[in-house]
């Protein structure tokens, strides 16, 4: 017969075993490096700039990836040559109901402006006028 009052004791025992193992190894036993690095060095440079309808940076460093995470299915229409030609990129869905498009840039594009707009697939409508833009800087 299972005793629910014993569960906190099992959890505490498991934590004690992890503590002993960590002390023996000289480092935290169940530490996830990617998470630790994010919080131990929060000002480390990122290789990504985020743009969404609530956060619209006017410029970003050339060479970073420009990510558009949005809450509905969309197609991003974008150009880096003032609409002489353009690219349509359909957003990739995630398991948490966010859709995103990434645009890679390279350092040689400093001084270029990326212009873009979104086409909402569910409503078959464009995201307003004028188009949005972000300048790539060195």
CB atoms within 10 A of CB 70: 18
Q: What is the pLDDT of residue 9?
A: 74
Rounded CA-CA distance 103/66 in Å is 5
Element (H, E) at 53: none
Residue 64 DSSP class: B
Mean pLDDT by 10 residues, the chain (138 residues): 67 88 90 84 83 95 96 96 96 97 94 96 90 95
CATH 3.30.70.3170 fits 48-137, yes or no: no
Cα separations in angstroms, 20 against 17, 32, 101: 5, 18, 45
Token readout for 128 is 């307003």
* Cβ within 8 Å of residue 102, ≥6 positions away: 48, 65, 66, 67, 68
pTM to 2 decimals?
0.69
Q: What is the pLDDT of residue 3?
A: 64
Q: What is the pLDDT of residue 43?
A: 76
Strand 132-137 and strand 59-61: the pairing is parallel
Domain boundaries, the chain: 4-40, 48-137
Q: What is the pLDDT of residue 129?
A: 73
| CB-CB contact of 110 with 62 (8 Å) | yes
């Amino acid at each position: 017969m299972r005793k629910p009052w014993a569960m906190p004791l099992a959890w505490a025992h498991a934590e004690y075993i992890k503590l002993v193992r960590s002390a023996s190894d000289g480092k935290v036993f169940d530490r996830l490096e990617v998470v630790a690095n994010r919080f131990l060095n929060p000002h480390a440079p990122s290789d990504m700039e985020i743009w969404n309808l609530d956060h619209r940076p006017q410029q970003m460093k050339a060479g970073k990836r420009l990510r558009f995470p949005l809450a509905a299915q969309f197609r991003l229409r974008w150009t880096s040559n003032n609409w002489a030609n353009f690219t349509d990129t359909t957003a990739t869905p995630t398991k948490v109901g966010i859709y995103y498009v990434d645009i890679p840039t390279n350092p040689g594009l400093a001084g270029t402006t990326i212009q873009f707009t979104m086409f909402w697939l569910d409503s078959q409508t464009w995201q307003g006028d004028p188009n949005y833009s972000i300048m790539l800087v060195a």
